[in-house]
């Protein structure tokens, strides 16, 4: 009997306004600790629970690509034009449909964990991805 082979893929989504060393550090830790095949930074135009981003979407994408360029296992994507809904559940559903052989690890900071109950379809997110929470100061 053949055993199913899954690629372990990390997802770090957000506005990245701006992308910073904290994003990079948790990405490196997640890649190693969870033995991820790759990690995708998914830039969104706007977080529905936060104020309007300071930097333009294109600048945030460019800065994210620049800060991650030396780490081959990290890629930067913008999918707002492909996914019509701006919520995590729709994003994970899209990624799962695109390749259901991937085992998804959704990475968030503890500041987001305390607001998780406000997210659209938040109870269904663990059906699509393992949620990995990183500690943030003061949370």
Q: What is the pLDDT of residues 12-39, one digit of tens each?
A: 999 999 999 999 999 999 999 999 999 9
Provide the pLDDT confidence category of residue 90 given band limits of 50, 70 and 90. very high
Q: Give the distance, in angstroms, between the CA of residue 119 and the centroid of all CA atoms in the same chain.
A: 15
Distance CA 59, CA 130 (A): 30
* Mean per-residue pLDDT over the chain, rounded: 92
Contacts for 30-33: CB closer than 8 Å, 24+ residues apart:
30/105, 30/107, 30/132, 30/134, 31/71, 31/73, 31/74
Structure confidence at residue 4 (pLDDT): 57
């Amino acid at each position: 009997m053949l055993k199913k082979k899954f690629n372990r893929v990390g997802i770090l989504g957000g506005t990245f306004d701006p992308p910073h060393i904290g994003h990079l550090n948790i990405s490196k830790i997640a890649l190693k600790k969870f033995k991820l095949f790759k990690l995708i930074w998914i830039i969104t135009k706007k977080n529905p629970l936060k104020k309007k981003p300071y930097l333009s979407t294109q600048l945030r994408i460019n800065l994210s690509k620049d800060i991650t360029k030396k780490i081959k296992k990290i890629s930067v994507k913008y999918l707002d034009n492909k996914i019509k809904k701006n919520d995590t559940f729709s994003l994970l559903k899209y990624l799962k449909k695109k390749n259901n052989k991937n085992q998804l690890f959704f990475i968030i900071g503890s500041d987001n964990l305390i607001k998780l109950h406000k997210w659209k379809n938040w109870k269904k997110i663990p059906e699509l991805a393992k949620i990995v929470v990183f500690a943030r100061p003061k949370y």
